[in-house]
A = this chain, B = another copy of it.
Amino acid sequence: MSKKIICKKCSNSACFIKKHCSSDWLKRIELKKIQIEHQAKDIIFREGGYMEGVYFIQQGKVKVVAKGANNKEQIVRMAIDGQILGHRGSGDDKYPISAIALCDTTVCFIDNDTLYDAFMEIPKLTLQMMEFYSRELRRTEIRMKYLTQMNVKEKIAESLLFLKQVFGIKPNDGTINVCLTRCEIASMIGVTAEQISRDIGVFEKKKLIKKKGRFGIKLVDENGLHDIVRKYGIEQYVEQR
């Protein structure tokens, strides 16, 4: 594990802690925080484990998954730098979901007690966290609407747009900047991997997208993709980077 990052010098400008804490509090949290580095496919925390704090993503990409019938996984959220994993919530004390790194990822763990003290002393921090959850809730509600109303082709078009907006594109070749198997894309929207293949093929024939290698997908005609889902009034429900 590499050296602990000094909060004050941390490159993550989206971090709630850094944005709202005084110098003193930053130092106090720095002493308490546990910085953990993960590689792709590492489990950051597992469904059923105990919630003893909250993880802030310092840098990286993470999928949040829940187990369904016969352990089929369902991706319920994608998270990147600056976002929070492991919801607080009195009453419950176990994670109902797992978080898995999609690439090299660094997270900062802060225990509940420290966080509670910070919340009590720094109202703006609490407010920001509240607004974060409130926004996430709204996004999830909208996404839920999509998932129940769209047909498969529409879901796939929507999720490609979603992925581009969350992860951006690679500067060199313009493909979406994340590695996901067909199976993972399928588990975001609850369809089969075969169907992803078929419709991705259709989209490529229509010159809406272009495949690069095994994982790379480049959105060639974004407007065309939008057209497929326009009637649902696609909201910009994704955090701007």
Residues of B within 8 A of A130 (CB): 88, 119, 126, 129-130, 133
Residues of B within 8 A of A64 (CB): 141
Q: Per-residue 0/1 for A81-106: is the Cβ within 8 Å of any B Cβ (1 yes, 0 no)?
A: 00000011111100011000000000
Residues of B within 8 A of A136 (CB): 137
Bound-complex Cα distance A120 to B119 (A)? 11
Residues of B within 8 A of A145 (CB): 66, 68, 74, 76
A-B contact pairs, 26 of them (CB 8 A): A64-B141, A66-B141, A66-B142, A67-B233, A72-B149, A74-B148, A74-B149, A87-B137, A88-B130, A88-B131, A88-B134, A89-B131, A96-B138, A96-B235, A97-B141, A120-B127, A123-B123, A126-B127, A129-B130, A133-B134, A136-B137, A137-B140, A140-B141, A143-B144, A147-B147, A148-B190
Interface check A212, CB cutoff 8 A: no
Tell me whether A147 and B149 are in contact (CB under 8 A): no
Interface check A135, CB cutoff 8 A: yes
Across the two chains, which residue of chain B brings its CB closest to A116? B127
Bound-complex Cα distance A200 to B144 (A)? 24
List 14 other contacts, CB 8 Å, given A119-B127, A130-B133, A140-B144: A66-B141, A70-B231, A72-B149, A76-B145, A87-B138, A89-B135, A89-B138, A90-B131, A91-B135, A130-B130, A133-B133, A133-B137, A137-B140, A140-B141
Partner of A119, one of B76, B97, B123, B235: B123
Across the two chains, which residue of chain B brings its CB closest to A72? B149
CB neighbors of B among A27-83 (8 A): 64, 66-70, 72, 74, 76-77
Most B CB atoms within 10 A — which of A90, A97, A141? Answer: A141
Interface class of chain A by DSSP: helix
Bound-complex Cα distance A133 to B138 (A)? 10
Bound-complex Cα distance A144 to B87 (A)? 17
Bound-complex Cα distance A121 to B97 (A)? 34
Known: A138-B96, A140-B137, A149-B190. A69 touches B232 (CB 8 A): yes
Shortest 5 CB-CB contacts between residues of A and residues of B: A148-B190, A133-B133, A130-B130, A126-B126, A87-B134
